């Protein structure tokens, strides 16, 4: 049985903005926003620290109140589209995907009361 979330999207976005910094590496930054098309989905943009100026965009969708599905939707390097198959990008994508899952886990008290 799926458990639907009882938290509205704006509250969810704010909770992510509060929790995610604790899981981030020094120098990395992010934005979290609601997906206007789906109230169960957040759009998360990461800016990686370092001279190469990578930025990665993810779609984080709540499958139910306890589980999220994470999809990498865009990768840029210095403001330009770049190949997401490189080792550097794959490493960043894995790191940020893990941080997204950790954040979702940390917020289960809100999403799965």
pLDDT in tens, 72-82: 999 999 999 99
Mean pLDDT of 17-22: 96
Whether the per-residue pLDDT at 1 is higher than 50: the answer is no
Residue 3 in any domain: the answer is no
Predicted local distance difference test score (pLDDT) of residue 87: 95
Q: Is residue 2 part of a domain?
A: no
pLDDT at 99 over 50: yes
User: Structural domain of residue 56, as residue ranges?
Assistant: 9-111
Q: How far is CA 82 from CA 41, 75, 86, 88, 98, in A?
A: 25, 6, 9, 11, 21
In a domain, 4, yes or no: no
CATH no. for residue 74? 3.30.310
For residue 4, the model assigns a pLDDT of: 63
Q: Among residues of the chain, what percentage have pLDDT more than 70?
A: 95
Judge whether 57 lies within some domain: yes
Rounded CA separation 21/39 (Å): 23
Residue with the larger pLDDT of the pair 95 and 51: 95
Q: Using the 8-state DSSP alphabet, how is residue 65 labeled?
A: S
Does 32 score more than 70 pLDDT? yes
Q: Identify whether 29 is part of a domain.
A: yes
The tally of domains found in the chain comes to: 1
Q: How confident is the model at residue 5 (pLDDT cuts 50, 70, 90)?
A: low
Q: What is the average pLDDT value for the chain, to the nearest integer?
A: 92
Mean pLDDT of 13-40: 95
Residues 6+ apart with CB under 8 A from 77: 52, 53, 54, 55
Nearest-angstrom CA–CA distance, 38 and 30: 20
d(CA 101, CA 86) in angstroms, rounded, equals: 22
pTM summary value: 0.93
Look at residue 1 and tell me if it is in a domain: no
């Amino acid at each position: 049985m799926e458990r639907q979330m009882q938290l509205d999207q704006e509250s969810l976005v704010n909770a992510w903005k509060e929790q995610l910094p604790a899981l981030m590496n020094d120098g990395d930054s992010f934005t979290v926003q609601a997906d206007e098309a789906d109230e169960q989905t957040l759009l998360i943009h990461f800016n990686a620290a370092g001279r190469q100026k990578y930025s990665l965009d993810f779609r984080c969708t709540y499958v139910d109140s306890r589980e999220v599905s994470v999809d990498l939707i865009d990768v840029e390097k210095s403001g330009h589209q770049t190949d997401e198959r490189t080792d550097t990008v794959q490493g960043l994508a894995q790191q940020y995907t893990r941080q997204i899952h950790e954040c979702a886990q940390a917020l289960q008290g809100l999403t799965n009361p």
